[in-house]
Amino acid sequence: LEKERVLDVEYKKKQRLIVETIVRLLPTQGRRSSVPMAFLSSLLKMVIAASSSASSGSCRSDLERRIGLQLDQAILEDVLIPINPNGINSTMYDIDSIFRIFSIFLNLDEDDDEEHHHRQFRDETEMIYDFDSPGSPKQSSILKVSKLMDNYLAEIAMDPNLTTSKFIALAELL
């Protein structure tokens, strides 16, 4: 039994190192990326499954940031990240990572609002583009992410170990 445990630890260590190497090889990214969301999500799931501690913190943070930058391209399966059970009261999904990912997306929109405010008008009378109008690219992204959050909340609501405060905190993000 001890030998199996040692082999499992070694396997997870190798898996974590491979994923960290792949993440370092990914192209740097702005808001849009050529790296598919499903691939980023799979890498994050592997990092979480392979790490028993916060040793992969920078890799995990980088993947969360990358996913957050293009969250409007995600589907429910991309954000349902199973968590290793750490005890009897452990949730089924990694709620903290998803909270950070959604926060990254929402903070990007705040940054866009500041930039938009400065470039919205060429002068007092001429409006370039109203990003807050229905059907605008920004509104479309927010709508997609809102629907994703709705579906996510519906899925995690069934978790008996999810605290009410975490559920409410996620719901209040939008």
Whole-number pLDDT of residue 128? 44
- The C-alpha atoms of residue 108 and residue 7 are separated, in whole angstroms, by 42
Task: Write the secondary structure of the chain as one string of H (helix), E (strand) and C (coil).
Answer: CHHHHHHHHHHHHHHHHHHHHHHHHCCCCCCCCCCCHHHHHHHHHHHHHHCCCHHHHHHHHHHHHHHHHCHHHCCHHHHCCECCCCCCCCCCECHHHHHHHHHHHHHHHHHHHHHHHHHCECCCCCECCCCCCCCCHHHHHHHHHHHHHHHHHHHHCCCCCCCHHHHHHHHHHC
CA angle 31, 128, 106 (to 5 degrees): 30
- The C-alpha atoms of residue 172 and residue 68 are separated, in whole angstroms, by 17
Q: Any idea where the domains of the chain sit in the sequence?
A: 2-173
Whole-number pLDDT of residue 38? 96
- The C-alpha atoms of residue 159 and residue 131 are separated, in whole angstroms, by 37
Question: What's the token pair of residue 64?
Answer: 């969360």
What tens-digit pLDDT sequence spans the chain (174 residues)?
Answer: 787 878 888 888 888 889 999 999 998 866 677 899 999 999 999 988 887 555 568 899 999 999 999 999 999 999 999 986 665 667 899 999 999 999 999 887 565 555 544 444 444 444 444 445 555 667 889 999 999 999 999 999 999 999 999 999 999 997
* CB 69 within 8 Å of CB 105: yes
Whole-number pLDDT of residue 53? 54
- Is the backbone of residue 26 left (phi > 0), alpha (psi -120 to 50) or beta? beta
- The C-alpha atoms of residue 129 and residue 136 are separated, in whole angstroms, by 9
